[in-house]
Amino acid sequence: MNVVLEGIGLVKRFGPAVALGGVGLAVRGGEAVAIMGPSGSGKSTLLHCLAGIMKPDEGEVRLLDRRIDTMGERERSALRRTRFGFVFQFGQLLPELPADENVALPLMLGDVSRADAVRRAREWFAPLGLAGMEERRPGELSGGQAQRVAIARALVTRPAVIFADEPTGALDQATGQETMRLLVEATKHNGASLVVVTHDPEVARWCDRVVEVRDGRVLPDPRGTAPAVATVPAAPAAAGPGGWDRETGAGR
Amino acid sequence: MGNLIGLAWRLLRGGGRRGLLGAGLTAAAVAISTALLLFTVAVNFAFQGRADREAWRNPVAAADGAVAVESVRTDHVRGQRITVVNLTALKPGVPAPPGLTRFPAPGEVWFSPALAELAGSLPAGQLADRFPGRRAGTVEEGTLVHPGELLVVRGQTPDSPELTVRAPGYADRDRGVGPVRISSFAGRHTDEAVGYQILGVVASVLMVVPLLVFGGAAARLTVARRDQRLAALRLVGATPGQVVTMTVAEAVITAFCGALLGLVLYGVCSPLLTGIEVAGGSWFLADLWPGAPAVAGVLVAVPLLVGLSAVAGLRRVVVSPLGVARRETPPAMRFIRVVALLAALATVPVVGGMGAGVGIFALSLGLAFGAVNLAGPWVVGRIGRIVARTARGPARLLAGRRLIDDPRSAWRTVSGVAMIGFIAGFIGLLVPDSGLFGSPDAAVLRVSAPPARLSEVAGQARERLSAAGVPATVRMTGGSEGKLKVVAVTPRAHDAATLDRARTALTGLVPGGVATTAADDQRASNRMLGDIRTGVVAVLAVCFLVAIASAGITAASSVLDRRQTYALLRLAGTPLSVLNAARRSETLIPLTVMGGGTIAAGMFCALPFVYAALNTTGLTVLLTCVVLGFAGVVGAGAASAPLLRSVTADPAPRPD
């Protein structure tokens, strides 16, 4: 697979503290990469730089051969909206909006008509096990359900890369595992790449590859490429939510 | 209890920079609110004080035991009013009138300081000659109606025409009162003074509600942060009572500091406020001190109200520890709020039509005003449903959902300005047009005279004017004052000096009569109209200041409360322009609907007093308010845009 997203020689300082000391990372199409490391190791900063949320002080970030670290805020904003999806630990759903409108929001921001956006958003509910919850507000969903809505929202624009920062951090182990499985399967099924920041090896096990970050540097991987537990074949990017079932994890 | 208050105090102090900033903003807002509230209260005491000081010049006839005779008339110089009081004692040992060291002996004149100064600066033929006699002393400044008042007290003999003849044309207070046999200098409030007192009460009622709303908004400033913290306390087992105690303690401590600050602020500003001219003069500093009990009342009431507002904001936490942590669909607001508004509105014309007392009317007006505030959130919620249903783009959808989610908070942002709609609607119908009386003639001096003596008086007028060297035309006319005839004098030159020379020459021409122009006669009424317009501008200016500050505070606190949501939206690529557009819609849509509604409600409340259609002045007031209101709210929202940019720039969203 070709490289979709690449960070080269990334350096980021916060005052005297060096958060990233020359980090390189390449993510291939359809690949799930876990970035692991203890608190303060620089893993979240790396994710923020790769996702165009932060500008690195040095180095470059490329998405399909386009440099994104030199783009202006407006352009990076548009890029995050159209080419990237995000799943966080908590709080990414708007409490005022019902679940379906939360998922439809990125589409509406991209000028899709409201009716169309909501229709397309609702297609994600059944495959993610959320049927019947379209009109519930985030406060009326369990933690796992809310994360699944967030996954739907991240995927609804059919992005190239999904970034997830401790996506299971607020969930119990069983729910966390189930959420990770859905995240990895749904991402891969849609042909997107996944970058997960976590300190939990159980979460990392779902990914194809693990990158260890310590003190702002990537550790050399003693095992080469980490074995991935989840082996979901990447599907063509055209496959819609209706062609994939969460129970079997396979296209019908 | 002591423990809890201690804990609240530690939480307040230990709230970090952001917490202290919130508490500081709350205290500042409460301070402004308190200072303005003190001013509102003081205005009523000030008018009362003026009325009391003026009362002795509005004598009440003694049933028996008269000790003196008093007459009052009004003269004019350089377009200013001079109050002339004539006194004579009926027996020895009559107490001194207010401001004099003793009762004036016949032939004595006592000038107020300003009149003494003016009489010294103008040629005697223009002013001083009108009040011949021995200058026995100066009327004490503090007993005057206002600083710079022109007053002369003349001691007369009991047989003086000023105290024996009821002068022609003494129909109204503008021209004079008496002579009246009095037993004391108690007197009673003049109609004019009572009129100003009523205006003061109406202005206070109109200002108090926005000020309270402002105080409430200030209390909510930090309530979201408190919500989270106190919900956590509930989770670890604090009882609702303990949570309420801590909330009240924290809010009241902050508000009390703010209220004290407000008192200082008011103290510092009051010398400036004394310069505001109402009813022809500025104020004594003492007028603007509402007195210790009223100040204590404000200092207790404001923190109490802020505490109540904070408790209302925390009701959901107290009911459920998860009430804040988990956002659920809020229960729909009851229609009873609207019913309450309609009921309150219905009472206003009834009370107004009955001619009930000022107090009762003010109460019903205040109730209607308050009910608008009650119905506001309900209407905002309704508007939210419509906006959310019909929204096509993300900004309007976000705005609509937000209005449904928290109509109270959305209402708070616009309520101040929407309430001004009520005031503007009320005032717009009532404010007198500047051209109500046309422009009265200021060139012709008129003296009323009994018909039998008309020619004689006209002849004397010619002689006096000629002696004084004032070339003038003297005519006898029918006049407009019943059977009285009028001698009209038109000086050839129209300057103020010539006019004042003519006035001086004509003094005492008809016993008790004063030569006045039509402009002089209307001066008091015109001045009251002018003061009403000044009052309107002052009330609206204060309300706008408060409302826009309140909109700004609410907008800023709403950004802070939702910073995590905004940060995540921005992080996921939502342009700031969409977020700002949503925030704008969130305020402008309810403002448009509610502003229109409150203007209509205000006009409805003014209906019992309206005798003419909306005039140009009223329309100007209304339109200015609408433009300022929208501009103010948009500006207040825009002012928090940099705050939105900075809170959303934080790339690592974390819970507080």
Per-residue pLDDT at B74: 83
Whether residue B398 and residue A137 make contact (CB cut-off 8 A), yes or no, is no
pLDDT at B153: 92
Percent above pLDDT 90 for chain A: 18
Q: A208 CB near a chain B CB, below 8 Å?
A: no
The pLDDT value recorded for residue A195 is 93
What pLDDT is stored for residue B323 in this prediction?
45
CA of A222 vs chain B CAs: smallest distance (Å): 31
Q: What is the mean pLDDT of each run of 10 residues along chain B (656 residues)?
A: 67 63 78 87 90 88 84 84 88 87 89 90 84 87 88 88 68 62 84 84 78 72 60 68 76 88 93 85 88 91 82 59 48 74 77 65 76 84 88 86 82 77 78 62 75 77 79 69 59 76 79 77 76 78 78 78 77 82 84 83 76 69 81 84 78 43
- B contacts of A82 (beta carbons < 8 Å): 573
B181, B91 Cβ separation under 8 angstroms: no
Asked if B652 and A95 come within 8 Å (Cβ–Cβ), the reply is no
How many helices (H) and strands (E) are present in chain A, helices listed first? 7, 10
A215 Cβ partners below 8 Å, 6+ apart? A21, A41, A42
Name, of A119-123, A218-222, B71-75, the range with top average pLDDT: A119-123
Which residues on A lie below 8 Å from B397 (Cβ)? 97, 101, 105, 108, 114
Cβ proximity of A79 and A71 under 8 Å = yes
The answer to whether the Cβ–Cβ distance between A97 and B571 falls below 8 Å is no
Residues of B with CB under 8 A from a CB of A: 326-329, 391-394, 397-398, 401-402, 404-406, 564-565, 568-575, 578, 651-653, 655
Option in A90, A96, A106 nearest B572 (CB):
A106
- CA closest to A139 among chain B residues: B327
What backbone phi and psi angles, to 5 degrees, belong to A50?
Answer: -65, -35
- Which residues make Cβ contacts (< 8 Å) with residue B283, sequence separation at least 6? B46, B146, B147, B273, B274, B275, B276
pTM value is: 0.70
Min Cα separation A185/chain B (Å): 21
Q: How far is A224 from chain B (nearest CA, A)?
A: 31
Give me B552's structure tokens.
Answer: 């700004």
Distance between first and last Cα of chain B: 27
**Cα gap A185→B12, rounded to integer Å:** 48
Shortest Cα distance from A108 to chain B (angstroms)? 6
Model pLDDT for residues B42-58, shown as the tens digit of each residue: 988 999 999 999 888 88
Residue range B253-307, pLDDT digits in tens: 888 999 999 999 999 998 988 888 888 888 899 888 988 999 999 899 888 888 8
Nearest to B230 by CA among B105, B316, B161: B316
Q: How many helices (H) and strands (E) does chain B have?
A: 20, 9
**Interface check A105 vs B, CB under 8 A:** yes
* pLDDT, greater one: A37 or B496: A37
- Closest partner residue to B568 (CB to CB) among A44, A81, A92 is A92
Q: Which residue has the higher pLDDT, A181 or B464?
A: A181
Q: pLDDT of A72-105, one tens digit each? A: 888 888 888 888 988 887 767 887 788 998 898 8
Top CATH class of B445-516 equals alpha beta
Give the best-scoring range by mean pLDDT among A5-19, A237-251, B355-369, B601-615: A5-19
CB within 8 Å: A94 and B401: yes
pLDDT of A237 higher than 50: no
Quote the ipTM score: 0.76
**Contact: B394, A44; criterion CB under 8 Å:** no
pLDDT for B261 equals 94
Q: Where are the domains of chain A?
A: 30-44+76-243
Give the neighbor-by-neighbor strand order of the sheet with A58-63: A17-28, A3-14, A58-63, A66-67
Diameter over CA atoms, chain A: 54
Let me know: does B161 contact B514? Beta carbons within 8 Å: no
- Inter-chain residue contact A82 with B578, CB threshold 8 Å: no
User: Per-domain residue ranges for chain B?
Assistant: 1-58+189-328, 59-187, 330-434+533-656, 445-516
Strands B150-155 and B80-89: parallel
Q: Where are the alpha helices (DSSP H) in B64-160?
A: 113-121
Counting one residue from chain A and one from chain B, the pairs whose CB atoms sit within 8 A come to: 83
Please give the CATH number for the structural domain made up of A30-44+76-243. Answer: 3.40.50.300
What is the band of A222 on the pLDDT scale with cuts at 50, 70, 90?
Answer: low
Predicted confidence at residue B656, as pLDDT, reads 33
The reply to whether A140 touches chain B by the CB within 8 Å rule is yes
